[in-house]
Structure 1
Amino acid sequence: GVLAVEVLLDCPYTTTLQVRQEHSLPWLPVPVLEVQVYHDARMAEVIGAEHARRFRGIYPYPNADMHQPDEKAQLNLFLGEWLSHCLACGHEFEAVR
């Protein structure tokens, strides 16, 4: 598969990206994350996944949307592991569209 990164919004201090895995396996869901990059802090956080946006730090459980109590932390950890895997396996990043 291919890791695709698309710039959705570019501002002076932040950039919003869509990060997704493109592949040809119809039975495998395609992960799609919306990521906010903070230039001055040199950090990023997941602000959207699938159809959800702007996650709380902690959710009561159970809740109407069935989020895990630490949903935001899990998504940010997933993004970090995903990008680390790409770097560790020698994936080459091409120019951002």
Structure 2
Amino acid sequence: MGKVQHKLDLQGLQALCSMNYVRLARLLPAGRTSFCYAIAPASSQICDSLLSVTTVQKTPYTSLLNLVYLIDEAQESDFFLLQVRSYHDARMTEVVSCQKQRNFQLYYQYPNPQMYHSDEKRQLNELLAQWLRGCAEHGRSVDGFDAGRFANVRP
């Protein structure tokens, strides 16, 4: 049996990054460099999850943001970290780092030494889309959020 040819869906990835830009722009409070959303469906019996968004760097054409996702607010040591870059001129947002791993390729041969999925970059951007959809559908802003709580979290 021959090798399976994988079609790289660059257009689909660009569309996903464009939608993530729009989703993030709707959630970002104007003029703020950090904010936090508590996420839980209204009918849920589970504790809120928290999504903290902090601007790390801002230039005229790009912004670099840290997104820290806490599944349980009480356990601050258990977090998931994405770093995203928004390109304002192209109106796109993409994941540039996940749990301190950087420089994801568009496509990986599988299996590979890192055990990445063949479409790891797309899957990470889809995860970002799910977080942003969760904020829009089930989130509420957390007043008085102390971004310093996540100061030791570094990408």
TM-score (normalised: structure 1): 0.85
Structure with more strand by fraction = 1
Structure with more helix by fraction = 2
Match of 1:78 in 2: 127
Distance, in Å, in 2 between the alignment partners of 1:16 and 1:25 is: 26
Of 12, 16, 24, 2:64 maps to 16
Gapped runs of 5+ residues in structure 1?
none
What is the Cα deviation at residue 65 of structure 1? Answer: 1.1
| Number of residue equivalences | 95
Gapped runs of 5+ residues in structure 2?
1-48, 148-155
Per-residue CA deviation, residues 29-66 of structure 1 (Å, 9 max, x unaligned), is 41110001011122200000012102100011111111
Larger Rg: 2
Change (3 A) 1:93 1:38: farther
Q: Which has the higher contact order (CA 8 A, sep 6+)?
A: 2
TM-score (normalised: structure 2): 0.55
SS in 2 for 1:64: coil
Paired amino acid for 1:38: Y
Distance, in Å, in 1 between the alignment partners of 2:142 and 2:121 is: 26
Match of 1:45 in 2: 94
- Identical counterparts, % of pairs: 36
Match of 1:31 in 2: 80
Large movers: runs of 4+ above 3 Å: none
Paired amino acid for 2:121: K
Paired amino acid for 2:126: L
Paired amino acid for 1:41: A
Paired amino acid for 1:6: T
What is the Cα deviation at residue 11 of structure 1? Answer: 1.3
What is the Cα deviation at residue 9 of structure 1? Answer: 1.4
